[in-house]
Structure 1
Amino acid sequence: MTLRTSRISMSEDLLNAARKVRENAHAPYSDFHVGAAIRAAGGIYVGCNVENASFPEGTCAEAGAISAMVAAGDSAILEVLIYAEADTPVAPCGGCRQRLSEFASSETTVKLASDSGIEVETTLGDLLPSTFKLT
């Protein structure tokens, strides 16, 4: 995976949206709050992680943002930003990488941010080089 680590210029609207929605995360078990913002043709869609007592059955922030996008009638992700409470940026889990690939191209920019301000920019193709696609 190729990650470009530097103080990159992030899309401020996505960063602000992901930061704000992260505050709504329901994470009573892990206390790990994540916000995701995705840009599509119709606008910005957000999601936060939602845990429940059946711990592995929670919902990731990226999945919530994708659901909001689809519910609004959009179907193509143009850009992704994930914001987590961590010392370093957190990349999407494997399942969310595959979910993102359903609606984004391998060239889609994925930006990662954390409380420490470290920012990483990569592409979905770098995060998931061998995506599963039905033909």
Structure 2
Amino acid sequence: MIKYMVLIGGIFFSGSVLSQDFCSVAEKDFNQEFNVYKKDGNAAFLKSMVAGGPLETDTSSLEKMKILTIVEKYLGNIESLSIFSRKQLGNKTCYLSAVLEYHGGPILAFITYYDAPNSPTITSINIETNIQKMLAEGFFTQ
């Protein structure tokens, strides 16, 4: 009986480790995409992020590019990225929360990655420029 409990516990633990590894893959991918942003600008950044995924033909990606263009107009050049939260949702989904820091201030980005058969795929991108709004809604206290 103990042998079976150890076997079941081992299977559960190994599945949990595999799930956590996908968030590491998603985080690494997002950091690579950020390097595209710094080198080639926001249009290349967003195009690279959505390539091959469900957002590739979604017009909301164009809206995100417009938002980043406006952000750059007011806050200046992008300087750094810090992922402050990563949450495993199910076995194949990872939700990343990041702060993008520009010369004149920060914005927040929320990205959902899915472990698609060929590569990590981004299924949603949300950008929030009003950090105070997020604080007021209790986002950071959850």
Task: Identify the TM-score tier after normalising by the shorter chain.
Answer: under 0.3
Structure having the higher Rg: 2
Q: Which has the higher contact order (CA 8 A, sep 6+)?
A: 1
Q: TM-score, normalised by structure 1?
A: 0.27
Higher helix share: 2
